[in-house]
Amino acid sequence: SIQTELSCSMSYLLRMCPDVIPDACLLCNSSCPWSSFSSNEKAACSAFQAAAFVTRTIQDLQELLEIQIKIPSLDLRSFSHFFSFRGVVNGFFEVLIKCYKTGLMSQYIKSWKTGDTIFWRGPFGGFPYTANQYGELLMLASGTGIAPMLPIIQYITENEDDETFVTLIGCFRTFENIYMKALLQEQSRFWNIRTFYVLSQEQSLKNLPWSFRETVHLGRINENLIKSMVNTCRRKPFVLVCGSVTFNEDMEKCLKAIGFEKESYFIF
């Protein structure tokens, strides 16, 4: 277990993301095993912004896939979230948490105050990525399933020696539901990154900004769409899949139908 103490101050370290939808909140923590840390300066956490707090230097930390939090008056509850660790950068790591309006755990997370103590348990599992390990990555993500994809993309774009191509297909209900749009647009400006969106409940492309219209497909992702995207890949892709259980099962069926072997994809 890792104990992290949220002290009485917080500071913005991450890029401000004004387009993050209200029920998504980006929290950042860092720690060494069984240690407590302090942060530097206080800042309010807007529902539309990504906020962070900084701690002391992390000595060693790997992928974290599970969190345990004790809710007052209730039993200890374990739950899993989709996220991936980018590596130790300036003494913090990033966690993307989807907060649901009626969720018990979400309400507890929203109630966190400076001075509260959180226990982080891990690391467990994850997708080990090495620069230039694959010629191209095809990422199929639904909703919060985009969380583990972002650190991999950023790792690639921040490494000048990594020439891996990336094609990301993010599936959301509407344009407003797309997480981290500003960050995704920023990453797609790199020569080796492409981002596409599949919107199941958006009625018309005319309602979208011009910069998104060419990269949005209306409807649901299916075998034909995946096959057409695979055909546009510049190299044979290795596929990463992350979403709900149903989404993951559907994507695996589609991949097998178009000829992908078990060794050619990874499901978070």
Are the C-beta atoms of 254 and 246 separated by less than 8 Å?
A: no
Query: Helix, strand, or coil here: 58?
Result: coil
70 is in an annotated binding site: no
Decide if 4 contacts 30 (C-beta within 8 A): yes
- Please give the backbone phi and psi of residue 210, each rounded to the nearest 5 degrees, phi first: -55, -40
Has 96 been labeled as part of a binding site? Answer: yes
106 among annotated binding-site residues = yes
Cβ contacts of 242 within 8 Å, gap of 6 or more: 82, 139, 140, 141, 142, 145, 146, 147, 148, 149, 248, 267, 268
- Could you give the CA distance from residue 147 to residue 238 in angstroms, rounded to a whole number? 18
Sign of CA dihedral 47, 80, 172, 140: positive
Q: Does 105 belong to an annotated binding site?
A: yes
Q: Residue 92 has what DSSP assignment? A: B
Per DSSP, the residues of 163-232 read --EEEEEEEESSGGG-TTHHHHHHHTTSTTEEEEEEESS---GGGS-HHHHTTEEES---HHHHHHHHHH
Answer whether 183's CB lies under 8 Å from 150's CB: yes
**In degrees, to the nearest 5, what angle opens at C-alpha 33 toward C-alphas 27 and 34?**
95
Q: Where is the binding site for FAD, in residues?
A: 96, 98, 105-106
Task: List, as residue ranges, the binding site.
Answer: 96, 98, 105-106
